[in-house]
Structure 1
Amino acid sequence: MKSRFFIVAFLMIIAYQPIWAKIELPNIFSDNMVIQRNEKVLLWGWANTGEEITIHTSWDNKEYLVKTTIDAKWKLEIDTPGAGGPYKISFKGNENEIALKNVMLGEVWLASGQSNMEWSATTNKGIDNGEEEIENANYPNIRFFTVPRRTSDFPQENIPGSWEVCTPETMKDFSAVAYFFARRLQGELDVPIGLIDNAWGGSPAEVWTPKSVFDAHEDLKLSAEGLEETPWSPVSPSQVYNGMVHAITPFKIAGTIWYQGESNRGRANMYGKLFSEMIHSWRNAWDSQFPFYYVQIAPFNYKEPEEGVLIRDVQRRVMQTIPNSGMVVVSDIATIDNIHPTNKKDVGLRLANLALKETYESYEGEVYGPLFKEVNLQWKKIEVIFDHADGLMFTDKKETYFEIAGADGVFHPAKAKIKEDTVILTSKEVKAPLKVRFAWDNVAEPNLYNAAGLPASAFISE
């Protein structure tokens, strides 16, 4: 009887031993990683309760001591210097030591969204000049971390994956938009660039948005709960955020690039609020007002009238209300019969130019196409005033893509005349125009540009 008691007691002791008997790091910390330069960054992980851990950083030859709390977790905030590497970080405890090698200090960007962000040089038909781009993708100062697809009902503290150096072999299956974005940044800034890719093809914005948003907004919650199941992406609210985003929110980033919206067509009336709240929630989770740059979805021949252009107009409006955000228009490099345009290079370059100008202040060129500012009613005509309108021009005057409406709300094609940053519109069918819309069609590829060769965004006036 006594022996049986001791056996049971021994098994209970084993069962209640701490889970983290050794130091463990989240997978976002690995060899080849990039850590944000010139910042206060967080190092964290797990170990035995009360264990003292010694952390050594080779860039400054400093040693730090941190003790694990009662929940078997530890964290340490340190200051990072300017860009450089390769460096080494070591973590030493009672049972083991972990040494991370080939660590760089530079700029870290998160690349997220749905299939057009996920699209790689080898996905289906690939990208323009794919073989050549793959062959030349030797950039040791660009590093990739791909977050595998995961869903969860609850926020996760870790994700699978590890950092990889950019080579033809690693680049070919990585986000092409993110790769071209990083290549441009790295070439211009001459610092290491780290990319975290956590896109999921076909995903609606609801799955990327944390539960706190839906708890606070009943209308968004009801809309999200009504999503229909699809064969290509989960639709349960917050599941992808829980499985693919939450675990990396303590990891300091410079900013986010985003390409998504196609899967929210049909719900444009909710998308503006949802997208805005999602951006706010991510910034709150990271405790940082980082820049959020995104791609306006491209023209495509959707079966449902106006669903694509409605989303494009919502995305334009969101940019005007969210500080430190920006949007690139890609209507001129779209393919209306293919929802996945293969020109990913120009998309990445436009995002990079946006970051270089607004985040790094190292690019002097124009990064926006003409953006609707306001209308000026002139009885028989209506004047449309644009921002970013230097050198405003039509590349083809046969069709202007402008329409105007009077009090009856019926839109008619308009004749257009450019005067500096203003387009003056008239129509024989509209005696007293009150409203204007531009490129208001799913497949419209408008011909209004500025001197930088960037296209105007679709819009409808209030």
Structure 2
Amino acid sequence: MTKNSLLLGVALLALSPLPVLAADAPLLHPMFQDHGVLQRDRPIQVWGDAKPGESVTITLGDAKTSAKAGKDGRWQATLPALKAGGPFTLTAKSGSAEQSAKDVLIGDVYLCSGQSNMEMQVRRSLDAWVETGTRANQPQMRYLNVERDTATSVKQTFGKPVNWQVISPQNVGDMSAVCYFFGREMRKLEDVPVGLINTAWGGSTIESWMPVEELRKQPDYKDALSFLAKYDVNPADGVRAFVEGWQSWWKKSGQPEIWREPFGAGDGWRDAPATFRPWETWGMPDMAAYNNIVWMRASINLTAEQARQGVALHLGPADDLDVTWVNGTAVGSQYGPGDPRRYVLPPGTLKEGANTITVAILDAYGDGGLYGTAEAQAIELTGGTKLTLPTPWQFKPTPVDTSVVPQAPWGTVNGLSTIHNAMLAPIGPYGVRAALWYQGESNTGRPLQYKSLLTGLMAGWRRQFGPDLPFLIVQLPEWGYPQDKPMDSGLASLRESQRAAVAADPKAGLAVALGVGDWYDIHPANKQIVAKRLVRAARKVVLGENIAPSGPIPASVTRNGDTVSIRFTDIDGGLKALSYHRPLGFELCGEGPGTCRFVDAELKGDTVTLPVGGGPAVRVRYCWADSPICNLQDSARQPPGPFEAQVK
């Protein structure tokens, strides 16, 4: 950009009209609606939009305050702290405009977030037919669900409508099970109104929920955040920068520049079926359980006029992630197994004659492929006409280490800050008593990094909701078939990162979910026990009770001659080994991977003793597997969480 063009842009901006509030535009932010709950016993932040410079008067019961809208029309005011009660009417007035939120209660507000196990509905939980019956008549409980949405920069308000609901048998079935059961249990401890804000997205990574400021502190996101910033200003520039980086990574792995090969050239290509469905269903043995990168390509002949009129490439949903080129030019990349693609084509991308469309598809789990009808794969011309890409397409499996494949930072569930920007930031400084977090399954590919990421997420959210915000973290339950020998497990390592992050944070509590998982389903149905364990952690971290919040924890791990002793603390009553005469699930290990072995443990009081025997004893692991079989509990039926510790 030249200096003159920059000055012209500034001048045009200065001449642009200030925001004008429509006569019927809401004064209150969408968080403030009928049936809402405001946090008790602390000053209440209220905000919204008005005409620039105008005064706004806000009343809540007998409380009254005022604010003045800024040049951008935004205003914010503080009402005094109130005790639990209601219902009240919250009203904002500005000139002739007025808006009210009725049936507003004052109580405790809890923020529930994470991926699919937080999103999972009451109707899918254990005993759903009972839980959705008369016991769901909860007029003092309210629920607000934030719809799935993403943004490449922070948004002040929601892109999709939100509303508070009074919880009843008619609507509870579609609400988050963990969130609802937690709120219901908390009301048994403190008889005050409860407001539940659920903002969750199945399959999402922790990075998608973190503010950009926290991701900048991490060592691995510098380049991706620069791509995201470019994309936010100009998507074409962002795509170009990201794909250049992706291509560089691909070449460094020793692979040829497949995106430059014309249709029909190169080795290892095969014809794909004419129907677009998961490659696991193609009837080809090598594709039946394939989770990795597959290259796919098609060719279409265009006239000179058609090439000039081409404006976009349409593809059906790519499961999970695609990077796409046309004639060797990068045109797009997106994560979203259920989302069709539309990539704008830069001028000059298409040419007269044969044009090659090349798509690299990464499938990390479950089904993979390019979906939709044959007509969904097409070139769009000026005026909307679409030219279907001819079949058969060609495909070429090319396995790589999927944990290091670069992914576009503007993605949905795997983006950087994208869900935070659209589903958390718009909640603003709304009063929240505690945050519940049930997430991690999508981060098991890099589990050691999770401690730092979870620490950063908690720090970033506390800047929004207050520095003393308590966090209640669900440690992931078992999933997958048990093994008959010690194993290195990404799921176990992630549980350890969760434990370590919580242990380092005095305002965080851990709910150990082992024992409520399902070998065959990553979404276990018993969400009631998960909620009760979260409540136990809340009794310590939120209510300040003097109890063991997370079950027994190892206080010391020491070697004494030919034995290793693990002494536990935070025991309610006493330790017990269930269904066997000794504790199960203990391992002794050397320094490196593959050095662990099961050992016969003995329990006496608060201490478990392990015989060293003839093997190494540098580390102790407990419950260390995707689906470990462990049998220690205390008298409150709280299990010790899985852990790894150095022997001293």
Fold conserved between structures, TM > 0.5: yes
Are residues 1:450 and 2:624 paired?
no
In structure 2, the residue matched to 1:133 is 131
1-structure distance, mates of 2:182, 2:88: 24
Structure 2 gap ranges (5+): 1-15, 228-245, 247-319, 322-334, 339-411
2:528 to 337, 341, 345: 345
SS at match of 1:257: strand
SS at match of 2:178: helix
Structure 1 gap ranges (5+): 1-14
In the TM superposition, what is the alpha-carbon distance from 1:175 to its structure 2 partner?
A: 0.4
In structure 1, the residue matched to 2:156 is 157
Q: Is the 8 A contact 2:583 2:603 kept in 1?
A: no
Q: Is the 8 A contact 2:207 2:215 kept in 1?
A: no
In the TM superposition, what is the alpha-carbon distance from 1:351 to its structure 2 partner?
A: 0.9
1-structure distance, mates of 2:127, 2:421: 36
2-structure distance, mates of 1:152, 1:449: 44
Q: TM-score, normalised by structure 1?
A: 0.90
In the TM superposition, what is the alpha-carbon distance from 1:408 to its structure 2 partner?
A: 7.7
Are residues 1:381 and 2:379 paired?
no
Are residues 1:48 and 2:51 paired?
yes
1:412 to 597, 612, 636: 597
In the TM superposition, what is the alpha-carbon distance from 1:349 to its structure 2 partner?
A: 1.5
> Cα deviation per residue 1:368-407 (whole Å; 9 max; x = unaligned)?
2221232111121111122223411211236611111357
2-structure distance, mates of 1:46, 1:418: 63
In the TM superposition, what is the alpha-carbon distance from 1:187 to its structure 2 partner?
A: 2.0
> Cα deviation per residue 1:161-190 (whole Å; 9 max; x = unaligned)?
011101112211010101010001112200
Q: Counterpart of 2:442 in structure 1: which amino acid?
A: S
Are residues 1:423 and 2:611 paired?
no
In structure 2, the residue matched to 1:313 is 496
Percent sequence identity is 31
2-structure distance, mates of 1:223, 1:377: 46
Are residues 1:461 and 2:567 paired?
no
Q: Is the 8 A contact 1:392 1:449 kept in 2?
A: yes
2-structure distance, mates of 1:295, 1:412: 28
Q: Is the 8 A contact 1:379 1:433 kept in 2?
A: no
- 1:38-437 → structure 2 map (5 Å cutoff): 38-58=41-61, 61-122=62-123, 126-135=124-133, 136-159=135-158, 160-221=161-222, 229=335, 231=337, 233-301=412-480, 306-361=489-544, 366-389=548-571, 390-395=573-578, 396-397=580-581, 400-406=584-590, 410-430=595-615, 433-437=617-621
2-structure distance, mates of 1:39, 1:231: 43
Q: Counterpart of 2:172 in structure 1: which amino acid?
A: M
In structure 1, the residue matched to 2:29 is 26
Q: Is the 8 A contact 1:381 1:433 kept in 2?
A: no
CA separation of 1:282 and 1:394: change in aligned 2, threshold 3 A: same
> Cα deviation per residue 1:276-312 (whole Å; 9 max; x = unaligned)?
1111111122233210001111111189951111111
2-structure distance, mates of 1:406, 1:103: 59
1-structure distance, mates of 2:101, 2:473: 33
Q: Counterpart of 2:424 in structure 1: which amino acid?
A: V
In the TM superposition, what is the alpha-carbon distance from 1:429 to its structure 2 partner?
A: 3.2
Q: Is the 8 A contact 1:413 1:427 kept in 2?
A: no
2-structure distance, mates of 1:101, 1:412: 62
Q: Counterpart of 1:56 in structure 2: which amino acid?
A: T
CA separation of 1:220 and 1:399: change in aligned 2, threshold 3 A: farther
Q: Is the 8 A contact 2:18 2:72 kept in 1?
A: no
Q: CA RMSD in A?
A: 2.3
In the TM superposition, what is the alpha-carbon distance from 1:313 to its structure 2 partner?
A: 1.2
SS at match of 1:88: strand
Q: Counterpart of 1:134 in structure 2: which amino acid?
A: T
In structure 2, the residue matched to 1:10 is none
Q: Higher Cα Rg: structure 1 or 2?
A: 2
SS at match of 2:156: coil
1-structure distance, mates of 2:116, 2:564: 39
CA separation of 1:328 and 1:221: change in aligned 2, threshold 3 A: farther
SS at match of 1:331: coil
CA separation of 1:184 and 1:439: change in aligned 2, threshold 3 A: same
SS at match of 1:308: helix
Q: Counterpart of 1:387 in structure 2: which amino acid?
A: T
